[in-house]
């Protein structure tokens, strides 16, 4: 079995890696069914983002390797920081305030029980 086809990657996710890692630590080493059930009702943006990547990895496993989704488990969820986009905003009396857009990379690997 090729492990490459049982992974899914999201690049340039529009949130910080700390927010993604907080949600990812709740679903590591769980079954795919349990993780999707948990993330469906989680009221966080990171939960929806992670759910989309997990569903993509499950679709890769079903289409490329003809595996059943009920036998899949989450092996690893890797999250990386990515360089920030630094911006400025004009404020009162011609002053400028800096703000930052955080980006992160996300990879989900599945394994078969």
Model confidence at 5: pLDDT above 70 = no
**Per-residue model confidence as pLDDT tens digits over 49-89:** 999 999 999 999 999 988 999 999 999 999 999 889 999 99
- Global pTM value: 0.87
**Per-residue model confidence as pLDDT tens digits over 7-19:** 999 999 999 999 9
Model confidence at 4: pLDDT above 70 = no
CB atoms within 10 A of CB 24: 22
Residues 76 and 109 sit within 8 Å (Cβ to Cβ): yes
Residue-range domain boundaries for the chain:
3-112
**How many angstroms from the chain centroid is the CA of residue 86?**
23
Exposure on the CB side of residue 62, measured as CA atoms within 13 A: 11
Superfamily of domain 3-112: Ribosomal protein L22/L17 (3.90.470.10)
pLDDT band at 93 (very low <50, low <70, confident <90, very high): very high
């Amino acid at each position: 079995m090729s492990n490459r086809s049982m992974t899914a990657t999201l690049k340039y996710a529009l949130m910080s890696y700390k927010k993604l890692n907080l949600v990812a630590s709740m679903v590591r080493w769980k079954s795919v069914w349990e993780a999707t059930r948990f993330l469906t009702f989680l009221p966080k943006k990171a939960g929806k983002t992670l759910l989309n990547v997990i569903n993509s990895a499950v679709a890769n496993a079903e289409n490329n390797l003809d595996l059943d989704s009920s036998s899949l488990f989450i092996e690893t969820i890797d999250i990386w920081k990515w360089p920030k986009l630094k911006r400025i905003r004009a404020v009162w009396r011609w002053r400028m305030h800096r703000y930052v857009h955080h980006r992160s990379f996300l990879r989900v690997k599945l394994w078969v029980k």
